[in-house]
Structure 1
Amino acid sequence: MIGFIGQEADEKAEEIDAKAEEEFNTEKGHLVQTELLKIMEYYENEEKQIEQQKKIQMSNLMNQARLKVLKTRDDLITGLNQLLELQIIIRCWKQDFPLDKASVHKAIPMYKIATKTSVDVQIDQEAYLPEDIAGGIKIYSGDHKIKILNTLESHWISQPSR
């Protein structure tokens, strides 16, 4: 009879162990799944923040480009108004040619409205501004007798003012 009670106790202990193991595995699976969802949510939020930062950065770059176009156009109109010539030649950096060309096309109608005269503006494609100039434009009268400099030369930048 003692053997029977011992066997019953062993079977009951195995049953309890099996049930405990099953509950442990179920709870472990639940915890792993919960943590996995938290990790996935964290990385989704990180990805959204990165996308948002990219959009903000792109917007800032677009605004800077728009401001550069407006500044170039304003400088051009100011130069045209200073010359009051019928034919104008512009020199710019080679890499700024497309930007300056677009600015010229938009500035001419504004110039015509302001001065009530027409102007022929050409962008010099044979001679560009040298690399030691940090941007801007040079505007010449058609006969090159009048020159307006709207540039920032690099040697001016590096030397302290006197």
Structure 2
Amino acid sequence: MALTDADVQKQIKHMMGFIEQEASEKVEEIDAKAEEEFNIEKGRLVQTQRVKIMGHYEKKEKQIDQHKKIRMSNLMNQARLKVLNARNDMITDLLNEARQRLAEIAKDPARYSALLEGLVLQGFYQLLEPKVTIRCRQQDVEMVQAAVNKNIPIYKEAVKSNIVVKINQERFLHSDICGGIEVYNDNGKIKVSNTLENRLELTAQQMMPEIRQDLFGANPNRKFTD
């Protein structure tokens, strides 16, 4: 039986509807797959960028932490230097006060003459030379000569040797020093400095650990006390 034009048109329309349905389903499938791939790629990109951002800020945080440590170290060093400078200033003031007190000793003839006697005899023993020259302040010449006269017999008896002593009357010690003497061998190449300032300096060096401990307390970082 031959198809009429209406039947043909109906079949064509049915086929077109089927094709359109398949195309629509295919488009939806493609859209869904594209959406899924998009979401996956978007997630991957977001994660990648998140890792980069986290790494960037982690690096920044480490840099800031390092800068803080450096800054704190510098501040602590500056604080230590200030403390050390303050302590050194205190010790300097203490030594200056000691020098002023030494100057007072020279104003007491009895104490100063006894002190000169000890310094002169010590100079003799340190040099152990047959001929020595003594330098002193100009105002101390008489006291020094008296100390020399007193100590020559003591020295001779102790070392069983003679000694000739000369007081230098041309080159005196500066009047600004607290007092004391300098003793030289015959050619002037060996010197024993027994000025009061020198004796104070030597004593301060020897006693500095005790002085620091008395002023500032024991050093917690010091392992040995000998």
1:56 is matched with 82
Q: CA RMSD in A?
A: 2.6
State the distance in 2 between where 1:115 and 1:55 align.
Answer: 43
Aligned length: 101
Distance of 1:47 and 1:116 partners within structure 2: 55
**Counterpart in the other structure of 1:17:** 43
Could you tell me which runs of 5 or more consecutive residues in structure 1 were left unpaired when the two chains were aligned. 90-111, 124-162
1:80 shift after superposition: 2.7
Residues 22-72 of structure 1: CA distance to partner in whole angstroms, max 9, x if unpaired?
A: 111111111111122112111211110110111111111112112211211
Amino acid at match of 1:39: D
Partner Cα distance (2:90, 2:109) in 1: 29
1:38 equivalenced with 2:61 (yes/no):
no
Matches within 5 A, 1:13-162: 13-84=39-110, 85-88=112-115, 112-113=136-137, 115-117=139-141, 118=143
Gaps of 5+ in 2: 1-25, 117-135, 148-179, 181-198, 200-226
How far is 1:114 from its partner?
6.8
Instruction: Please identify runs of 4+ aligned residues in structure 1 that moved more than 3 A.
Output: 117-121
Aligned with 1:87: secondary structure?
A: helix
What is the identity, as a one-letter code, of the residue corresponding to 2:79?
Q
* Higher percent of residues as strand: 1
Per-residue displacement from partner, 1:85-124 (whole Å, max 9, x unpaired)? 42139xxxxxxxxxxxxxxxxxxxxxx4273235678x9x
Aligned-residue offset at 1:83: 3.3
Counterpart amino acid of residue 75 in structure 2:
Q
Instruction: Supply the distance in 2 between the matched residues of 1:6 and 1:114 (Cα, whole angstroms).
Output: 114
Write the letter of the residue equivalent to 1:42. K
Pair member with larger Rg: 2
- Cα distance, 1:4 vs structure 2: 2.8
The match for 2:169 is none
